[in-house]
Structure 1
């Protein structure tokens, strides 16, 4: 979830309808931490190549909406949100869209739904605190994992608060993954990793 991500959509036109609806829900609920526009466009592109999609940390459904708007027809999408009110409201928002399931509870509920071709680890799975989500369990061989909301690295090893960024390094050096950091904006980077065959 991005700090001030929701406000980045103010005045943006030509969004997919479901993305606009999710942004409106985030505004209504006062939820500031939606997926940033740059990240959403990236997720939209990645979703087109997946046969199964999972997400942890639904929030108000903005990132989920980008995934749904980018997927091919019939591709199932599962998202987990721990906050009961948000989960219920997002489930209502996506109720008429086939093959979209919103689970309410801890992010580990995603473990029973995989493996996935594309998994976005956002509000769960300790994406920023180390690799707690098990890519060998959650991804098909060749499947992609996305962890967003990093500041772009400028040194190696990457540094956070004056120390090596162990969370980022856990993903970049994970033995089951081929991983890279992708800069989406001057202040925004995402890690994209593929499960080794």
Structure 2
């Protein structure tokens, strides 16, 4: 068994590697550019929504506040009439990318690495072979980075191609994490 505290270096290095890799994926490789599609008459849709002064948040249309509403004929008629949408609304003027999001992403990377360290440290002792460390740490990290994306496709109808791209990213991040742990294992 290896203490999480003794794994501070692989936790930090793997967090940095994942942060850099995600930057390269999103800013250089750009294969996520088709994850979101444009609405027809985008300006018209924005003008229409602007008139409602919707506060920032996550919304569903139509919205069922209870199971009774969900099962009602009136709600079912709204669904049948359409459109049905899940949307996130940002406050007007808020930039799509802020430094606080990058900080939150880096903290998330460190948390996934911390959990990978915990799981790997439970199963292996000091001096463990690279591949043993790599297998456990990368598996734990892939679970942290990749698996939750499937929920978006299942429950909010995000397209499976976009989901698969995000899950692929998670596998890359997991492999980088496993590599850092294998390299820096005490």
Using the size of structure 2 for normalisation, the TM-score is 0.26
Query: Whose helix fraction is larger, Structure 1's or Structure 2's?
Result: 2
Query: Whose strand fraction is larger, Structure 1's or Structure 2's?
Result: 1
Structure number with greater Rg is: 2
**Larger relative contact order, structure 1 or 2 (CA cutoff 8 Å, min sep 6):** 2
